[in-house]
Amino acid sequence: MPNSPLRFIISGGGTGGHIFPAVAIANELRRRLPDAEILFVGANGRMEMTRVPDAGYKIVGLDITGLQRRLTPQNLMFPVRVFRSVRKAGKLIEEFRPDAVVGVGGYASAPVLLAATSRAIPSLIQEQNSYAGLVNKLLAKRVNRICVAYDGMEKFFPADKLVLTGNPVRTEISRGDRAEALHFFGLDPNKKTLLVVGGSLGARTLNQATAAALPRLREAGIQLLWQTGKLYFPEARQQADQAAGLHALEFIQRMDLAYAAADVVISRAGALSVSELCLTGKASILVPSPNVAEDHQTKNALALVSKGAAVLITDEHASERLYDEALRLLSDPERQQQLSLRVRELARPDATVTIVDELLKLVKRVKS
């Protein structure tokens, strides 16, 4: 490697499923190359513009949005926004002069990777899901390497560029101590704990089903850690004030402790959530969101369910079946243990290390 510090741009975002893998990659780069300069590029108004600075990194925003499914003024402005964003991304690249660029999916990845690949800068895509995102599919032929989390991704990407790495997960996520976790959240060590998490933005179906099930949980002596998302939080906070053992949070910062406290997890089936459940070895009930491209969360969930590593409840059946299944699982320690053992077998704890290995190979090949 050269003596001068290496420079990297990491682009993308929109949801925690994009942002947290991006931060994990940056943290591994910083661990190996303390002098490396790392710049994030996101979309203005999206959650990465606050989450990335909270993680200790600089971020620049582009005025880029996705296409709506109906004719809107935003759609009419879309080509103009893309042009401006590509131009701004090009200026950023010329000023920052990165040695390599990483795209993790989301709106901001496209302009940055287009600008980088047109300048022959080494570029890597990290695809989290079992069904590839539109931006990544469009850019696949232009980039040098594509790191994926599932087998069979050659149906979306050139096979010679693929590396099966798994998803980058924050290394601390599996290190939570149960005693510390119970104290941190104010939980009773003599009661079973259910963790409900609907992704970084919350999940209406999970929130409604959970609210309806609160009397059943109290009657069964189950305590609840409930990440609601921003919209439902005011209502959930009122419910929490009226019920012992109910802990509602808008967003859980210490997910390592939340997993450590949980006996069973109810979750959407986003790629990051699935990877975290594998790494933490938690018995889980997955409720895939129906509001995602090509129903990719169901495909993510089936990758676990087919191995006997999780339980699947569809979104449409959640109101009727979710808490029947949750209470059965909470009362069956042997089944919890079976799910835990099988889901751990699917974990890829070295995913972030492998992705950074691939990134540095690209840089070395250009520098040598």
pLDDT digits (tens, 9 = 90+) for 219-236: 999 999 999 988 888 988
In the chain, beta strands by DSSP E? 7-11, 37-43, 58-62, 100-103, 123-127, 145-148, 162-164, 193-197, 223-227, 246-249, 264-267, 284-286, 311-312
Q: What percent of the chain has pLDDT over 90?
A: 72
Q: 149-175: per-residue pLDDT in tens?
A: 988 999 999 999 999 999 998 778 999
Q: 285-332: per-residue pLDDT in tens?
A: 999 999 887 788 999 999 999 999 999 999 999 999 999 999 999 999
Please give the annotated binding residues, written as ranges: 15-17, 129, 170, 200, 252, 271-276, 297
Q: Quickly state the pLDDT bin for 334 (edges 50, 70, 90).
A: very high
Q: Quickly state the pLDDT bin for 67 (edges 50, 70, 90).
A: very low
Model confidence at 26: pLDDT above 90? yes
Instruction: For the chain, give every domain's residue range.
Output: 7-167+349-367, 172-344
Which positions ≥6 away from 328 have C-beta within 8 Å?
Answer: none
Model confidence at 145: pLDDT above 60? yes
Tell me the C-alpha distance between 34 and 166, whole Å: 24
Model confidence at 192: pLDDT above 70? yes
**pLDDT value at residue 74:** 55
Closest residue by Cα to residue 298 from 311, 314, 284, 321? 314
Q: What is the mean pLDDT of residues 25-38?
A: 97
Model confidence at 73: pLDDT above 70? no
Q: Quote the DSSP letter at residue 160.
A: G
**pLDDT value at residue 350:** 95
User: Is the Cβ–Cβ distance between 150 and 171 less than 8 Å?
Assistant: no
Least confident piece of the model among 33-42, 348-357, 358-367: 358-367
Domain 7-167+349-367 matches domain 172-344 at the CATH topology level: yes
The architecture that CATH gives domain 172-344 is 3-Layer(aba) Sandwich (3.40)
**pLDDT value at residue 199:** 65
**pLDDT value at residue 72:** 52
**pLDDT value at residue 82:** 72
**pLDDT value at residue 200:** 62
Q: 75-124: per-residue pLDDT in tens?
A: 445 566 677 888 999 999 999 999 999 999 887 899 999 999 999 999 99
**pLDDT value at residue 15:** 76
Longest CA–CA span in the chain (Å) reads 66
Model confidence at 65: pLDDT above 90? no
Residue 207 has which token pair? 């929130």
Angle at 348 between CA 357 and CA 298, to 5 degrees: 120
Give me the CATH topology for the region 7-167+349-367.
Rossmann fold (3.40.50)
**φ, ψ (nearest 5 deg) of residue 59:** -135, 145
Q: What is the mean pLDDT of residues 346-350?
A: 94
Q: What is the mean pLDDT of residues 195-202?
A: 79
Tell me the C-alpha distance between 235 and 238, whole Å: 5
Q: What is the mean pLDDT of residues 182-189?
A: 95
Please give the annotated binding residues for UDP-N-acetyl-alpha-D-glucosamine, written as ranges: 15-17, 129, 170, 200, 252, 271-276, 297
Task: State whether the Cα torsion 168-174-176-178 is positive or negative.
Answer: positive
